Protein backbone atom coordinates (compact mmCIF):
# COMPACT_ATOMS: atom_id res chain seq x y z
CA UNK A 1 0.00 0.00 0.00
CA UNK A 2 1.32 3.38 -0.99
CA UNK A 3 1.14 6.32 1.46
CA UNK A 4 0.77 9.91 0.33
CA UNK A 5 2.54 12.76 1.96
CA UNK A 6 -0.22 14.74 3.82
CA UNK A 7 1.53 17.97 2.85
CA UNK A 8 0.60 17.44 -0.86
CA UNK A 9 -3.18 17.23 -0.27
CA UNK A 10 -3.75 20.98 0.17
CA UNK A 11 -1.64 21.71 -2.91
CA UNK A 12 -3.55 19.15 -4.99
CA UNK A 13 -6.89 20.51 -3.76
CA UNK A 14 -5.83 24.07 -4.59
CA UNK A 15 -4.69 22.98 -8.06
CA UNK A 16 -7.98 21.14 -8.60
CA UNK A 17 -10.00 24.21 -7.53
CA UNK A 18 -7.97 26.54 -9.77
CA UNK A 19 -8.41 24.19 -12.72
CA UNK A 20 -12.20 24.07 -12.15
CA UNK A 21 -12.37 27.89 -12.02
CA UNK A 22 -10.37 28.22 -15.26
CA UNK A 23 -12.60 25.72 -17.03
CA UNK A 24 -15.73 27.50 -15.80
CA UNK A 25 -14.46 30.85 -17.05
CA UNK A 26 -13.39 29.39 -20.37
CA UNK A 27 -16.85 27.89 -20.81
CA UNK A 28 -18.48 31.29 -20.29
CA UNK A 29 -16.28 33.52 -22.38
CA UNK A 30 -17.16 33.83 -26.03
CA UNK A 31 -20.02 31.37 -25.85
CA UNK A 32 -22.54 33.88 -27.22
CA UNK A 33 -25.03 32.98 -24.51
CA UNK A 34 -25.27 36.19 -22.52
CA UNK A 35 -27.71 36.06 -19.63
CA UNK A 36 -29.03 39.55 -20.35
CA UNK A 37 -29.22 40.58 -23.98
CA UNK A 38 -29.29 44.27 -24.87
CA UNK A 39 -32.52 45.83 -26.15
CA UNK A 40 -32.98 47.83 -29.33
CA UNK A 41 -33.47 51.55 -28.86
CA UNK A 42 -36.33 52.31 -31.26
CA UNK A 43 -37.35 55.95 -31.60
CA UNK A 44 -40.71 56.74 -30.06
CA UNK A 45 -43.48 57.73 -32.44
CA UNK A 46 -46.16 60.26 -31.56
CA UNK A 47 -49.74 59.03 -31.51
CA UNK A 48 -52.02 60.49 -34.14
CA UNK A 49 -54.72 62.99 -33.27
CA UNK A 50 -57.55 61.28 -31.38
CA UNK A 51 -55.62 58.02 -31.00
CA UNK A 52 -55.27 56.27 -27.64
CA UNK A 53 -52.12 54.31 -26.84
CA UNK A 54 -53.06 51.09 -25.01
CA UNK A 55 -50.40 49.50 -22.80
CA UNK A 56 -49.75 45.79 -22.39
CA UNK A 57 -52.14 44.69 -25.14
CA UNK A 58 -50.24 41.70 -26.56
CA UNK A 59 -51.23 38.25 -27.82
CA UNK A 60 -49.90 35.41 -29.94
CA UNK A 61 -51.21 33.32 -32.84
CA UNK A 62 -48.83 30.59 -34.03
CA UNK A 63 -45.44 32.25 -34.66
CA UNK A 64 -46.87 35.78 -34.78
CA UNK A 65 -46.82 37.98 -31.71
CA UNK A 66 -49.22 40.93 -31.91
CA UNK A 67 -49.30 44.14 -29.88
CA UNK A 68 -52.04 46.76 -30.20
CA UNK A 69 -50.14 50.06 -30.07
CA UNK A 70 -52.86 52.49 -31.16
CA UNK A 71 -56.65 52.71 -31.18
CA UNK A 72 -59.12 55.20 -32.66
CA UNK A 73 -62.88 54.85 -32.80
CA UNK A 74 -66.03 56.68 -33.89
CA UNK A 75 -64.42 58.24 -36.99
CA UNK A 76 -66.98 59.43 -39.53
CA UNK A 77 -64.79 59.44 -42.63
CA UNK A 78 -61.45 58.43 -44.05
CA UNK A 79 -59.23 60.47 -46.38
CA UNK A 80 -56.24 59.30 -48.37
CA UNK A 81 -54.00 60.62 -51.11
CA UNK A 82 -56.40 59.60 -53.86
CA UNK A 83 -59.87 59.27 -52.30
CA UNK A 84 -62.15 60.04 -49.38
CA UNK A 85 -65.13 58.13 -48.05
CA UNK A 86 -67.77 58.44 -45.35
CA UNK A 87 -68.33 55.53 -42.99
CA UNK A 88 -71.59 53.58 -43.22
CA UNK A 89 -71.45 53.48 -39.42
CA UNK A 90 -68.20 54.58 -37.79
CA UNK A 91 -64.62 53.70 -38.59
CA UNK A 92 -62.41 52.05 -36.00
CA UNK A 93 -58.66 51.97 -36.56
CA UNK A 94 -56.42 49.52 -34.73
CA UNK A 95 -52.65 50.06 -34.99
CA UNK A 96 -50.84 46.71 -34.73
CA UNK A 97 -47.22 45.73 -34.25
CA UNK A 98 -46.65 42.20 -35.58
CA UNK A 99 -43.47 40.23 -34.88
CA UNK A 100 -42.61 36.91 -36.48
CA UNK A 101 -40.99 34.89 -33.68
CA UNK A 102 -40.54 31.79 -35.85
CA UNK A 103 -37.93 30.59 -38.31
CA UNK A 104 -40.13 30.66 -41.43
CA UNK A 105 -41.97 33.44 -43.26
CA UNK A 106 -45.43 34.15 -41.88
CA UNK A 107 -48.14 35.65 -44.08
CA UNK A 108 -50.33 38.24 -42.41
CA UNK A 109 -53.72 38.29 -44.15
CA UNK A 110 -55.70 41.45 -43.39
CA UNK A 111 -58.99 39.89 -44.47
CA UNK A 112 -58.83 37.14 -41.79
CA UNK A 113 -58.70 39.61 -38.90
CA UNK A 114 -61.84 40.46 -36.88
CA UNK A 115 -63.08 43.23 -34.61
CA UNK A 116 -65.37 42.06 -31.81
CA UNK A 117 -68.03 44.34 -30.31
CA UNK A 118 -69.51 44.09 -26.81
CA UNK A 119 -72.67 42.42 -28.23
CA UNK A 120 -70.48 39.53 -29.52
CA UNK A 121 -70.72 40.41 -33.22
CA UNK A 122 -67.57 40.30 -35.34
CA UNK A 123 -66.57 42.56 -38.22
CA UNK A 124 -64.12 42.10 -41.07
CA UNK A 125 -61.73 44.87 -42.09
CA UNK A 126 -63.26 47.44 -44.42
CA UNK A 127 -61.93 46.99 -47.95
CA UNK A 128 -62.38 50.61 -49.05
CA UNK A 129 -60.83 52.19 -45.97
CA UNK A 130 -57.91 49.74 -46.19
CA UNK A 131 -57.32 50.71 -49.83
CA UNK A 132 -57.79 54.46 -49.28
CA UNK A 133 -55.28 54.43 -46.41
CA UNK A 134 -52.94 52.21 -48.49
CA UNK A 135 -52.59 49.50 -45.86
CA UNK A 136 -51.49 45.95 -46.75
CA UNK A 137 -53.90 43.23 -47.83
CA UNK A 138 -51.33 40.48 -47.38
CA UNK A 139 -47.89 40.92 -45.97
CA UNK A 140 -44.98 38.46 -45.84
CA UNK A 141 -43.31 38.83 -42.47
CA UNK A 142 -39.83 37.32 -42.47
CA UNK A 143 -38.23 35.45 -39.61
CA UNK A 144 -37.46 37.79 -36.68
CA UNK A 145 -39.06 40.66 -38.63
CA UNK A 146 -41.41 43.23 -37.11
CA UNK A 147 -43.93 45.44 -38.89
CA UNK A 148 -46.61 47.89 -37.86
CA UNK A 149 -49.72 48.92 -39.75
CA UNK A 150 -53.40 49.85 -39.35
CA UNK A 151 -56.49 47.69 -39.56
CA UNK A 152 -59.65 49.62 -40.53
CA UNK A 153 -63.16 48.48 -39.58
CA UNK A 154 -66.56 50.07 -40.33
CA UNK A 155 -68.92 49.16 -37.49
CA UNK A 156 -72.46 50.37 -36.67
CA UNK A 157 -72.66 53.75 -34.94
CA UNK A 158 -72.97 53.34 -31.23
CA UNK A 159 -71.42 49.84 -31.25
CA UNK A 160 -68.78 49.45 -28.57
CA UNK A 161 -65.55 47.61 -29.29
CA UNK A 162 -64.49 44.75 -27.07
CA UNK A 163 -61.48 43.12 -28.74
CA UNK A 164 -59.58 42.44 -31.93
CA UNK A 165 -58.91 38.85 -33.07
CA UNK A 166 -55.62 38.57 -34.87
CA UNK A 167 -54.62 35.49 -36.83
CA UNK A 168 -51.10 34.44 -37.76
CA UNK A 169 -50.50 31.93 -40.54
CA UNK A 170 -50.21 28.20 -39.89
CA UNK A 171 -46.69 26.96 -39.17
CA UNK A 172 -45.06 24.67 -41.73
CA UNK A 173 -46.75 21.27 -41.66
CA UNK A 174 -49.88 22.43 -39.82
CA UNK A 175 -53.18 21.05 -41.09
CA UNK A 176 -55.40 23.79 -39.64
CA UNK A 177 -55.32 27.53 -39.03
CA UNK A 178 -53.91 28.58 -35.66
CA UNK A 179 -56.06 29.91 -32.84
CA UNK A 180 -56.30 33.71 -32.89
CA UNK A 181 -54.82 36.14 -30.42
CA UNK A 182 -57.76 37.99 -28.86
CA UNK A 183 -56.64 41.35 -27.51
CA UNK A 184 -58.96 43.54 -25.45
CA UNK A 185 -59.53 47.08 -26.73
CA UNK A 186 -60.26 50.27 -24.81
Indicate if the alpha-carbon torsion angle 51, 54, 60, 63 is positive or negative: positive
The CATH architecture of the domain made up of 58-184 is: Sandwich (2.60)
> Using 50, 70 and 90 to split pLDDT, how confident is the model at 134?
very high
Nearest to 68 by CA among 80, 56, 82: 56
Q: Which of 23-37, 53-67, 87-101 has the lowest mean pLDDT?
A: 23-37
22 has a pLDDT exceeding 50: no
Q: What pLDDT, on a 0 to 100 scale, did the predictor assign at position 1?
A: 54
Domain segments of the chain: what residues? 58-184
What is the value of pTM for the model shown?
0.78
Q: What is the pLDDT of residue 143?
A: 94
Q: What is the mean pLDDT of residues 5-22?
A: 51
Furthest-apart CA atoms within the chain: distance in Å: 100
Amino acid sequence: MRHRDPRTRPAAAALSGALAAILALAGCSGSGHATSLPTYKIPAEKAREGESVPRGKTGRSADMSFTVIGFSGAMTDVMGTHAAMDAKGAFTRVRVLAVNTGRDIQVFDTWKQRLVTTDGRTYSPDVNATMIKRQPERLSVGSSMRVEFDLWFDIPRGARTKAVRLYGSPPVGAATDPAPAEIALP
